[in-house]
Amino acid sequence: MSTAQSLEAALVELLNKAANATLELDPKAASRLTASEGHRARLIAELPGSVEKSFTLAVVGGRLVLTPDAEPAPNVVVRGSVPALLSRCLPAAEAQDR
């Protein structure tokens, strides 16, 4: 495994743990995931230098599972820069705090 692949795997593991730890703090959010059980989203991060990296985000067993691969036949494809993809997550979290 190359250094880049090792870093990618570590980042994916960190994001999985952070996302699911956050869900454990919000039982309502966790229960809303049941409607999305089995669904997959392909996230395409547009990186500098015209490089793209695809990830798959799935709901499995009531938990979010991010993998560093583009699995076939996602339910939705979301494409954007890393800041744009992250900003899609923030407004929902801020709205719940109100």
Question: Using CA atoms, how far apart are residues 6 and 97, in angstroms rounded to an integer?
Answer: 35
Task: Note the pLDDT tens digit of each residue in 34-92.
Answer: 889 999 999 998 988 888 989 999 999 888 999 988 888 899 999 999 888 877 765 45
- What pTM was estimated for this model as a whole? 0.75
| Domains of the chain with bracketed CATH | 3-97 (3.30.1050)
CA proximity to 53, closest of 72, 88, 79: 79
Task: Note the pLDDT tens digit of each residue in 9-42.
Answer: 888 888 888 888 888 888 888 788 888 999 999 9
